[in-house]
Amino acid sequence: MVEEAERRGELKAGMTIVEATGGSTGASLAFVSAVKGYRFLVACSDAFSKEKLRTISSLGAEVNLVHSPSGKFTADLIPSIVRRAEELSRAEGHYYTNQFHNNDALIGYATIGHELTSQFSDGIDAFCGAVGTAGMVTGVARVLRSKYPSTKIVVLEPAESPLLTE
């Protein structure tokens, strides 16, 4: 997402990247932002596991939390996090990667899926991935299932921050 935005001229040196995430996309964007010298603002929630939040912040991201009164995911929490990211991105010099509506994310997910299918030409019985906002698992699963329709997809999520199971 970052490299494609740079290529199009939408993201330039000195700008701030903004995203709504609490999962692997957040850690990945924090890492890429640090390497490329961008400031990174993350909108997420205290309903995400503390470990994920620590990972993202340890990579240099500034974490902006949307409070979950129950400490759990609710139907309106993700939309609230997205709204927070949209608000943060309105500031001058900010670029919102918007993973949920950004076709550039598919490039990265497809790359992971194709790397796996090229290494396991006889098929893949199962793929197991941890979930934050489910972007990576969803993207990789699409590629795997397109080549190996019977591949079982297993999603892991922390008990402290269930997104899919509750």
What's the pLDDT tens digit per position in 45-82? 999 888 989 999 999 999 999 999 988 878 789 899 99
Compute the distance between CA of residue 166 and CA of residue 160 in angstroms, rounded to an integer: 11
For residue range 120-154, what is the model confidence (pLDDT) as tens digits? Answer: 999 999 999 877 657 778 889 999 999 999 999 99
CB 99 within 8 A of CB 25: yes
What is the value of pTM for the model shown?
A: 0.76
DSSP secondary structure letter of residue 42? E
Compute the distance between CA of residue 152 and CA of residue 145 in angstroms, rounded to an integer: 9
